[in-house]
Amino acid sequence: MLNPLPLLFRPALSLACLGICILACIAPASVFAQVARMEIHTFPSMTLSDQEFLTGSKDGKAVTLAGELRLPRAGSDRLAAVVILHGSGGINGGITDWAQDLNAMGVATFVIDSFTARGITNTFNDQAQLGRLAMTIDAYRALDLLARHPRIDPARIALMGFSRGGQPALYASLKRFQKMHSTAGLEFAAYMPFYAACGTSYLEDEGVAGKPIRLFHGVADDYAPIAACRSYTARLQAAGKDVVLTEYAGAGHVFDWQALKKPVKLEKAQRTGQCVLAEAQDGVIINAKTKQAFSYADPCVDLGPTIAYDEKASNEARRDVKNFVTAVLKP
């Protein structure tokens, strides 16, 4: 039987196939990560101030959020999953890069958009637009959603967050917060905060869940300095908790996003790295120096952090996350 493909196109097809083979050999695995299905899900959440959150209020403003679920393979088996929280800039290419990496491991991902439904584009220059703990509620509600999904194993759902999203990815582990805001009987299997701000001490903040916590942080971070995370990690370790802070020498903030190969100074972005904050009994966050309620007008708040990609640190972090996810979630 004659080949129906016109002779004219056969050489071009051969070259194209050769090119694909070469690309497959040199391109990162994440480029070819299989995504069998993508689903957009909406789910109910709530917008609370930090004081409302810390006092267990249920009277916040209702909001319907959306997230993108990626299932790495077809079938009926239940998959491990990671809920991903974005930073002050919202969902960007760095977030989707991590989703692809996790999909390549056979892990489903659920990327939450915590900003759009709240009318927020970004919080760089005005962090007061949204409480620092508000996205913790989003994470708990996403856990509710995924736990009911027929393709997700509710016992193998981890939480991962970056920068502003790293803070709830860390503190969602607190038993006190879970008791107030999470669903009884459901909890994340692991917590993976990236370059989170650890400068606020909360009541009972050594009482974390009995699940592993892994922090990933650049030593040269001038947006969320690593010192506070070192102190908090040391306290948790002294209390016998399964927590590890992995440090990347010379790396700054957002060291894992290739789009930042040329460092970017955010001239007007607020940072609280010099602030020492603590929760008072009434749920108010106070400035430990002034003993007054914290405000972004406090002298400890300054401007102008730098964000920059670090290839070595990024590669090491991806290796570290892969090893951790493989061991804990067993995809």
pLDDT tens sequence across 206-224: 999 999 999 999 999 999 9
CATH number at residue 91: 3.40.50.1820
Residue 246 lies inside a defined structural domain of this protein: yes
Number of separate domains in the chain: 1
**Domain housing 96:** 30-329
Q: Model confidence at 81, in pLDDT bands (50, 70, 90)?
A: very high
Residue 19 lies inside a defined structural domain of this protein: no
Residue 313 lies inside a defined structural domain of this protein: yes
Q: What is the pLDDT of residues 272-309, one digit of tens each?
A: 999 999 999 899 999 999 999 999 999 999 999 999 99
The residues, any chain, with a CB within 8 Å of residue 183's CB and separated by 6 or more, are 140, 143, 144, 147
Residue 4 lies inside a defined structural domain of this protein: no
Residue 8 lies inside a defined structural domain of this protein: no
User: What pLDDT is recorded for position 324?
Assistant: 99
Between 32 and 145, name the one with better pLDDT: 145
User: What pLDDT is recorded for position 281?
Assistant: 86
Q: What is the pLDDT of residues 138-190, one digit of tens each?
A: 999 999 999 999 999 999 999 999 999 999 999 999 999 999 999 999 999 99
Residue 203 lies inside a defined structural domain of this protein: yes
User: What pLDDT is recorded for position 33?
Assistant: 57
% residues pLDDT > 90 (the chain): 89
On the question of pLDDT at 201 being above 90, the answer is yes
Residue 11 lies inside a defined structural domain of this protein: no
The residues, any chain, with a CB within 8 Å of residue 125's CB and separated by 6 or more, are 268, 269, 270
Residue 52 lies inside a defined structural domain of this protein: yes
